[in-house]
Structure 1
Amino acid sequence: MNPTFDKHEKINIILIVISLISLLTSFILSIEYLSLIAIILCGTPIFKESIEGLITEFDIKADLLVSIAIISSIIIGELFAAGEIATIMAIGGFLEDHTVKKTQNRIKELIKITPQIATRIKNGNEEKIPVDEINVGDMIKILPGESIPTDGIIVNGESSIDQKTLTGESLPIDKKENDEVYSGTINLYGSFIMKTTKISQESSLQRLINLIESSKPENAKIVRQADKWATLIVVIAFISAILTYLYTFEITRSVTILVVFCPCALVLATPTAIMAAIGNLTKNGILVKDGQSLEELAHVDELIFDKTGTLTYGTPKVVKIISDNPKEMMYLAASLESKSEHPLAKSIVKHYNKSELAEVNDFKMHIGKGVSGFINGSKIVAGNKKLLELENIPLNSDVKTNGEIPIYVAKNTEIIGKILLADTLRKTSKETIRRLKGLRVKTTLITGDNEKTAKSIAKEIKIRNVKSDCLPEDKLEYIEREQILGHRVGMIGDGVNDAPSLRKANVGIAMGDIGSDISVEAANITLINDNISDIPHLIGIARKTVSTINRSIGFALSLNIIAMGLAILGYLNPIEGALIHNIGSVIVIIYSTSLITYKISKNYEKLGTTKNLNKTKFKRYNYKKHGDY
């Protein structure tokens, strides 16, 4: 994904770069007046927004605090500090605005999944029509490789459909007459005729687009920590300065009060901690779009996992071979399946992983059933029970599966073996779930797969809360219910079908390596390397970041109050006040930047029982004992 910037954003980038260069030059050459460039370029928009907010909305927010901090720093001669504050805030504002714009643009790309032209059969003739002209009841012909333009029912033919876009299922679904098909899914092999049940504007894909556009957390705009204290600080500082002057008639004391109450440390507490935390996470292959996501993640008490591509690898693999002569059986099966493009066939050939394959004659693909052909004069068949029935091959003994897909291999009407395939778990899934329980986070599995497959995966990794056969709107409804109950919900997914849920959740986490661009843009956080074992560290540093910010703010406020008291009593002059002010800012910065090297305690990995959970330092969070932790 290459970032794209509009003209306004490019101008902002140029201004920020010039400001950073001026600050760096000012620091290296000790020419403090160069910092004025950063103050003018990055500080002017902040001054403008704070004045507009004060006049039009009568609201005192962090922008006003930042303005006071910049102006106060200029008054006491700290031009570099003023330029630094202005530039840091400008970078943060740019990243937030750009994130919103990218998400909106990515949503539009969903439209590309739907074809613009469809083949309609009317009065026995085929005609090409725009998808928007499709009416309910029209007969539409779908060829192999085509995307289905709208929802409907197959009336003639059969095929295998890739429904990953809508349901996230890792394997194609066999469809025959009277089965439903959905817009945005892909017809893989056979051609068929469908009768439309919805117009394109009301189809499943369009509904998915609408869900993504409308889904957002109820509290999407988290109030910055500095905003919470802005009004109180401004009022106290100015009232104290005025009253002190009226009582003592000493302007020096009033100026000192404004200097020591300059909220530099308070303003720097949040962005410095967030930038340090984001730097830490980036080193570990985790991208975080904004500080608000970290704040929300710190209070998440339930994580919802999509199955395919998240807890599992998202591709079928051979998990078991049953045969009296497995070497010969796999040789014949791989040779036959090498002629097919079906995902199951590719997995069998990949598992065999040998170059010597037999020549196949009279190869035939049986849509939704399997394949057949002749090898060295013998007829070889590989497929499901339906194909065995078609070829009159007796099934002497069935195989018990636990969510796996069985492929029967027969030679001259006799079954010689079975191959079981399944979407396998990631190696780190089970350990990740265990560690999340240690962090008192409820885990839930939501998937478009069938109940048997979903429960099999959940049982293996010990997730008790399972929801199967879920469409995008089902996932969305579950998240809404949990949020109504007071839960802070995080969603982890990888596909287009997860995008609405990623946006609706308090925090959306996308699998970046295999995840679709749309799901990545809809999410707040991206796991670049698809390593879900990083999630406990992610939650741990989010909690540590919030804790660090709160402590820094508490320290800054305490220092300001003490210094203001000393200034009122005349024990501090402006120069001494400026020194205390700078010391406070340095302490906050040093403490916040310690997050760069922070690592979650290994003790968390040993947690897992209720007895141990009660002893964790996270028990101060008000987690509801609801469900499986």
Structure 2
Amino acid sequence: MIDEITDFLFGLKMTIISGIFLLIAVIFMIFGIDTPIYLNPAWGTVIISGIPMLLLAMTRLIREKWISSALLIAIAMVASLLIGEIFAAGEVAWIMALGALLEDWTVERAKKGLRNLINLTPQTGRRIVDGVEEVVPVDEIKIGDTLRILPGESVPVDGEIINGTSSLDQSIMTGESLPIDKGVGDEVFCGTMNMYGAIDIRATSLGENSSLQKLIDLVKAADEKQAPTQRIADKWATWLVPVALIIAIVAWLVTGNIERGVTVLVVFCPCALILATPTAIMAAIGQATKYGVLIKSGEALETLGALNTLVFDKTGTLTYGNLEVSDVISLKEDLSDLDLLKLTASCEKLSEHPLAKAVVNNAKEAEIDIEEPKDFEMYPGKGVTCNNSYGTIYAGNSKFLIENDIDVNVDSYLDQLKNEGKASILVALNGEVVGLIGLSDVIREDSKGMIENLHELGTETILLTGDNTETANYFASQVGIGKVYGNLLPQQKLDWIEKLKSEGKKVCMIGDGVNDAPALKTADVSVAMGSVGSDVAIEAADIALLGDDIGKIPYLKKLSNSTLFTIKANIAISMTINAVAIVCSVLGLLNPVTGAIVHNAGSCLVVLNAALLYDRRFDDSIKKIDSENVEHSHYHFHNDGEHSHSHDGVKIIDEIQTDNGVKHMHVHKHALDRQSCEPYHN
């Protein structure tokens, strides 16, 4: 009941009403309007802002054994009331309420992300009993039950495939950009999505033991581990309160004037200290918002400047998370790279697999006329086959081609693509392997420069990813990250964050997927990609990059450093003003009313200094969110040359003839404002 009353009176509407009463009292003082003490408008401020502040101080002192800044302000307020200085009592109470309101705005955390994560848990499953399929609630599924998952459905419980093959989107668990091919004997996780063929599984774990529920529990546990923060003034209140009381009592006893003692309490109130942190943080948050960065926690902004270790996820963070054709490798002299791309796109045209879509989209962008396939068949988790004007085509993995009696002897090319972190499609024409298509996630153009800037700022960078180690090492080498850990599940990412923190490092985690949520919650500060990131990751993180501009990470660190400097400067200003005002109070140069005015002036000065942070420039290369560069991607081939150029000079495709007759087609790309091209897979 007490907490509800306090929250209501400390709310925005009541704080505004309280401020209006105080303003009226000031107007009465200016124009010399005398009113009986019991009709002083400042009583409204005392009642609205003073009573909850008094309740808060007593609650913290008695229930929590916590000497807070609210206790000192409550003492000053009560002392002012006892000698009839209603305005002074109202002023210190209102400043306290305003500071608390600003602080609450900067640290408020939404819980929607955890609810979204819980909603990912499937509610029903298709159970097979004696050959009969029935849809049952997940709670009725038992270990050992046989379940059928159709294409497009989520896996209801952890299990093992006992019949069928398919590809499953496991990004919720591992963050991997590609669906994973699964067959009989392979493990599947609760909440992952079956992309293609129907599969039957045997349930192996249920309810709280499922992988998705463990992920939910990790997020909850990480959230509960976060200790409540205290304002700077509250941290100092342990010695502020006794010092203020001692000085006030000594001033009263030495001078024999109780008014001087009360004045000391009024000017000693740490209201400027209370405003020092939230006002600077609010200005910094406003500054960041202009440039497309949403900072949800003032504590995160304070902590960011002290960080020495930044941990990155790969897919969707350092990369775009979208597969693109990076290499077209023809193994036949009489088959050009363009023909290989054309016949493969024809065979993949009716497939829904992400690799197939990437090939088809690449052919469309190249303005290639894609032929309609005949006798198309898709084999989930393996590949596709069809007939067209070129002949009979098989496109898929090596296992698929071997099963169809096609000799596969291209291990060197497969190993090369794998070492470069690329997926591959083997293409066979009329029973013979004729080429490979390499596909790669695309690294963000500013990832490498961002990592270099962080290293210049003395920050260590680490890559934690669910992708395989070869892929992780390749991408890390491209952007300049030295420490790499791959094949990680959510629990393992969280374990690494805790290990780094146990070594005394201040850790920032940057990610975008549901699987990153526990690590994001556990890190000292967390950053999520706002546009491509999952809702769960965005809500779990302290900071969201609305434009997915990873290059703003160094800007954030500079902003945090400046914010910390501003906070310290505000503290120095407030302490200096308080010290001078205390001396003046002891000497009788200030009374409770003039002391309250000086006290208020100090608070205003702190606010004005913090406001200067809003328009400060930290990096001329950082552009506002509404002026982002838009990158084009349309290009075409010239039929009469070895090189093909794009419209607007954005993408270039180079066809290189090697000594052994094997031709490679490499796709390049660069932003409109750059002078030189860089490899597309870089």
User: For residue 92 of structure 1, what is the amino acid of its counterpart?
Assistant: E
**CA contact 1:23–1:35 (8 Å) conserved in 2:** no
Q: 2:342, 2:368 within 8 Å by CA — same for their partners in 1?
A: no
TM-superposed CA distance for 1:602, in Å, is 7.7
| Bigger Cα Rg | 2
Structure-2 residue corresponding to 1:111: 118
The residue number in structure 2 matching 1:342 is 353
> Is 1:454 matched up with 2:472?
yes
- CA change 1:255–1:88 in 2 (3 A) is closer
**Structure 2 CA distance for aligned equivalents of residues 29 and 414 of structure 1:** 93
Q: In the aligned structure 2, how far is the partner of 1:243 from the partner of 1:18? A: 37
**In structure 2, do the counterparts of structure 1 residues 78 and 355 end up closer, same or farther at CA, with 3 Å as the change threshold?**
farther
List aligned pairs for 1:14-29, cutoff 5 A.
16-17=12-13, 19-20=15-16
Please say if 1:471 is aligned against 2:489.
Answer: yes
**Alignment check: 8 A CA contact 2:284 2:614 kept:** yes
Distance in 1, Cα, partners of 2:405 & 2:76: 84
Superposition TM-score, scaled by structure 1 size = 0.86
Aligned letter for 1:326?
D
**In the TM superposition, what are the counterparts of 1:98-177 in structure 2 within 5 Å?**
99=109, 102-103=110-111, 105-177=112-184
Q: Distance in 2 between matches of 1:295 and 1:114?
A: 36
Matched, 1:92 2:92: no
When structure 1 is superposed on structure 2, of 55-64 and 432-441 the one drifting more is 55-64
Given that residues 18 and 38 in structure 1 are in contact (C-alpha distance below 8 angstroms), is that contact kept between their aligned partners in structure 2?
A: no
Q: Does 1:290 align with 2:297?
A: yes
Query: Is structure 2 residue 479 aligned with structure 1 residue 483?
Result: no
> Which residue pairs with 2:548 in the alignment?
530
Q: Which residue number corresponds to residue 3 of structure 1? A: none
Q: Between the two proteins, what is the percent identity of the paired residues?
A: 43
Name which of structure 1's ranges 590-599 and 153-162 shifts more when overlaid on structure 2.
590-599
Distance 2:217 2:261 in 1: 57
Provide the rounded CA distance (Å) in 2 between the counterparts of 1:561 and 1:470.
55
Between the aligned partners of 1:13 and 1:418, the Cα distance in structure 2 is 69
Provide the secondary structure at the position in 2 that maps to 1:443.
strand
1:183 to 187, 190, 193: 190
Distance change in 2, residues 1:202/1:252 (3 Å): closer
Residues 420 and 30 of structure 1: CA distance in aligned 2, closer, same or farther (over 3 Å): farther
Whether the 8 Å contact between 1:66 and 1:267 is mirrored in structure 2 is no
The answer to whether the Cα contact below 8 Å between 2:223 and 2:522 also exists between their aligned partners in 1 is: yes
Contiguous gaps of at least 5 residues in structure 2 = 29-39, 623-682
Partner of residue 257, structure 1: 264
Residues 150-209 of structure 1: CA distance to partner in whole angstroms, max 9, x if unpaired? Answer: 122212211101100101100000011111111111111111222222223311111111
2: CA distance, partners of 1:300 / 1:174 = 39
Residue of 359, 362, 367 corresponding to 1:351: 362
Q: CA deviation at 1:336?
A: 2.5
Please report how far the alpha carbon of residue 88 of structure 1 lies from its aligned counterpart in structure 2 after TM superposition. 4.4
User: 1:190 is aligned with what amino acid?
Assistant: G
Report how far residue 500 of structure 1 moved: 0.9
Letter in 1 for 2:472: A
Residue 198 to residue 217, structure 1, CA distance change in 2 (3 Å): closer
Contact kept, 8 Å, 1:273 with 1:545, in 2: the verdict is yes
The residue aligned with 2:581 is: 563
Equivalent residue, structure 1, for 2:662: none
Letter in 2 for 1:285: G
Deviations 1:72-118 (A, max 9, x none): 7984569678646523422533664x52xx32x53233333232222
Does the 8 Å CA contact 2:462/2:481 hold for their aligned counterparts?
yes
| Distance (Å, rounded) in 1 between the aligned partners of 2:96 and 2:585 | 25
Q: CA deviation at 1:349?
A: 1.7
What secondary structure, in the 3-state scheme, does the structure 2 residue paired with 1:300 have?
coil
Instruction: Give the corresponding residue for 1:553.
Output: 571
Which consecutive residues of structure 1, in runs of 5 or more, have no partner in the other structure? 1-7, 605-629
Choose from 245, 250, 254 the match for 1:243. Answer: 250
Alpha-carbon offset, residue 227 of structure 1:
0.8
Aligned 8 A contact 1:20 1:38 in 2: no
Aligned Cα RMSD in Å?
Answer: 3.2
In the alignment, the residues of structure 2 paired with residue 428 and residue 81 of structure 1 have an alpha-carbon distance, to the nearest angstrom, of: 49
Q: 1:34 to 1:325 in 2, by over 3 A?
A: farther
Find the residue that maps to 1:427 and give its secondary structure: coil
2:280/2:566 contact within 8 Å kept: yes
**Matching residue of 2:344:** 333
Whether contact under 8 Å (1:372, 1:379) holds in the other structure is yes
1:516-560 residue CA offsets vs partner (Å, 9 max, x unmatched) = 111111112211121111111112222222232223213322331
1:565 counterpart letter in structure 2:
V
Decide which moves more: 474-483 or 558-567: 558-567
Larger CA deviation: 443-452 vs 298-307: 298-307
How far is 1:127 from its partner?
3.4
Per-residue deviation, residues 581-613 of structure 1 (Å, max 9, x unmatched): 344223322222222123336899xxxxxxxxx
In structure 2, distance between residues paired with 1:389 and 1:36 = 88
User: In the superposition, relative to structure 1, how do residues 36 and 348 fare at CA in structure 2: closer, same or farther (>3 Å)?
Assistant: farther
Which residue of the partner structure matches residue 658 of structure 2? none
Alignment partner, residue 404 of structure 2: 391
Alignment of 1:409-428 (within 5 A): 409-428=427-446
Cα distance in 1, alignment partners of residues 305 and 41 from structure 2: 39
Q: What residue is the counterpart of 1:208 in the other structure?
A: 215
CA contact (8 A) 2:165 2:381 kept: yes
Question: What letter matches 1:340 in structure 2?
Answer: S
Partner of 1:362: 375
- Looking at structure 2, the residues matched to 29 and 329 of structure 1 have their Cα atoms a distance apart, in angstroms, of 84
Distance between the aligned counterparts of 2:289 and 2:270, measured in 1?
29
CA shift digits 1:27-80 (9 cap, x unpaired): 799968988767755554333212322333342213335556878798456967
| Structure 1 segment 567-586 matched on structure 2, within 5 A | 567-574=585-592, 577-578=595-596, 580-586=598-604
| 36 and 299 in structure 1: CA distance in 2 versus 1, 3 angstrom threshold | farther
Shift of 1:370: 1.6
User: C-alpha offsets along residues 484-543 of structure 1, whole Å, 9 cap, x if unaligned?
Assistant: 111121111111111111111111211111111111111122111211111111122222
Which letter does structure 2 place at the counterpart of 1:392?
D
**Amino acid aligned to 1:241:** A
The 2-side partners of 1:410 and 1:518 are apart by 42
8 A Cα contact 1:304 1:443, kept in partner: yes
Partner of 1:405: 423
Compute the displacement of 1:465 (Å). Answer: 1.2
Instruction: State the distance in 2 between where 1:248 and 1:24 align.
Output: 36
Q: Is the 8 A contact 2:425 2:438 kept in 1?
A: yes
Separation in 2, partners of 1:573, 1:84: 19
Q: Is residue 344–residue 421 contact of structure 1 (8 Å, CA) maintained in 2? A: yes
| Range with bigger deviation, 49-58 or 184-193 | 49-58
Q: TM-score, normalised by structure 2?
A: 0.80
